[in-house]
Structure formats: structure tokens, C-alpha cells
Structure 1
């Protein structure tokens, strides 16, 4: 089994943390893993993208070819659309519906949502709003990971949840539990998708 995932967003949104959690879970599960990261501006606000390839067989390249991604996980709706050419026909887009307007010519929000809604396989949610409502504003990325968990397939939601515990262990039990709760919120939100 193989799973090719593109992670995208804007600097500071936690895309690389999502990649770390998935990668750590894959390593513990004994899967082969290749990752390639592309950082935009090194400061908060530049686009950030990561190719994450997981397989129970040998992986020869760390880059995902056009039309080959099984899943796009995006912290920002415009960034999700940027990588659509990489998505395979049956692939899914899991994205935040909260725009991060970091450029002066950001697309019209209504048109952006219309384009997202026209996709055959999309799950979107206002994760930033949910994170704030639950007093966990820095956990929106883990809510998104929870949403994406059922679409990852090669790893179970429980394997990802356990990985959260290991990745955040050095930050203390309170941070671990908050991130596990964020993951569960996203997992629950995706049940109806």
C-alpha cells in the first residue's frame, strides 16, 4: 500500500508539525517514508509545502508527480487549490475553510469557496474558528490532521493519536492532552464527510 500526501499552508500555521506527526507514526508502524519540504519565505506568511510519501514498499523518489497525490491536506484554502494539478482523479482535498489573506491580491473569498465546493472529493471546515472556540488557538493544525485521519488510510487514527503523544511529550502532559483533544475534534467533524 502507498499513500502520497501533499501538505500545504502558510508559514507559521503548523504544516511541518502535521508532517512530523504523520512521519513519526509511519516510522513507528515500520512504513517506508520519504519527505520533501519546500519553504516559501522563511518568515511567517510565506507558502509552505511538503511532499510526504508513505509505503510498505520501497519508495524511490521523495517528490510527488503531477496527478499522483492521493491527498492534499491544507491549512489554507487558496494553498489547497494551488496543488490541485498534483491530485489524482480519486484523490481528496482536506482543507481549512478559513482564508489567510497574506497577499494584497488574494482571490475573492466567494469564488474561492465556489471552486473548492465544485471539487468531487473535498472536506473543509473552519478549523481556526473551532480552535478558538475550544480555547486552543494554536491547535488548528492538529484539528485539520484529525479531519484528514480517515483519508490517510495507511495509518489508523489511533496510530496518529499516539504519535501526537510522542511528538509533544517534551512540552508536558497538558499540551499533549490539548493536542489529542484537538485531533479528536477534527476526527469527529470528519465522520459525516
Structure 2
């Protein structure tokens, strides 16, 4: 069993807290886990992302290759789109539909969700 998960959002939404909870749950179940984080200007609503790799076998790298992610959980719609190139053909994108509008030219919601 191996699952590659990307958590994405903006600063203040709790991405790193969610990653910690999932990681601790995996370790408690006796699974191997690697995690990598990207902190944008998180205090100002910047990009925050975490790669979580969970497996019943040892894991060599903490980074998820393009096209190999099983699940993207995004707390912000545009941030979910940012990581679509990482999603595997059979992967899932789960996103919050309510945008965190932190830029003046944020696209209309129907265009983001299309």
C-alpha cells in the first residue's frame, strides 16, 4: 500500500496542522511516512503546501513526482489547480469551493471550478 497526498491552501488555513494529524495517524498505524512542506508568505495568505507519502514499505523520497499523486486536498480552489499536474490519471482532487480572495484579480468562481 502506498498513498501520495498533496495538501494545499493558503496561510492560516491549517494545512500544516492537517498534515501533522494525518502523519501521526499513519505512524500510529505502523506505516512509513515522509513529509515535505512549502511555506509561501503564509502570514499574508501565501501558498502553503505539504507532500505526504504514506506506505507499508520504506519510502525513499519525500517529494511526489508529477502525475503520481493519489489525492489532492485543497482548502482553496486556485491552490488546488496549482497542483493538478501532480495528480495521477486515477487520482482525486477534493477542494473547498469557497475562495480565499487574496489577490485583486482573482478569477470568477465558475471559471476556477470549470
Instruction: Report which of the two has the higher share of strand.
Output: 2
TM range (shorter): over 0.9
Ranked by relative contact order (alpha carbons within 8 Å, sequence separation 6 or more), the top structure is 2
Deviations 1:103-133 (A, max 9, x none): 112122111122xxxxxxxxxxxxxxxxxxx
Gap regions ≥5 residues in structure 1: 115-193
Deviations 1:126-174 (A, max 9, x none): xxxxxxxxxxxxxxxxxxxxxxxxxxxxxxxxxxxxxxxxxxxxxxxxx
Gap regions ≥5 residues in structure 2: none
Q: Please state whether the residue corresponding to 2:13 is helix, strand or coil.
A: coil
Instruction: Report which of the two has the higher share of helix.
Output: 1
What's the counterpart of residue 55 of structure 2? 55
Deviations 1:46-70 (A, max 9, x none): 1100000000001000000000000
Structure 2 CA distance for aligned equivalents of residues 112 and 33 of structure 1: 32
Tell me the TM-score normalized by structure 1.
Answer: 0.58
Superposed counterparts of 1:37-52, under 5 Å: 37-52=37-52
Runs of 4+ residues over 2 Å off in structure 1: none
Q: Please state whether the residue corresponding to 1:62 is helix, strand or coil.
A: coil
Structure 2 CA distance for aligned equivalents of residues 87 and 42 of structure 1: 24
What's the counterpart of residue 18 of structure 1? 18
Q: Please state whether the residue corresponding to 2:48 is helix, strand or coil.
A: strand
Structure 2 CA distance for aligned equivalents of residues 113 and 65 of structure 1: 24
Q: Please state whether the residue corresponding to 1:43 is helix, strand or coil.
A: helix
Larger Rg: 1
Tell me the number of residue pairs that the alignment of Structure 1 and Structure 2 aligns: 114
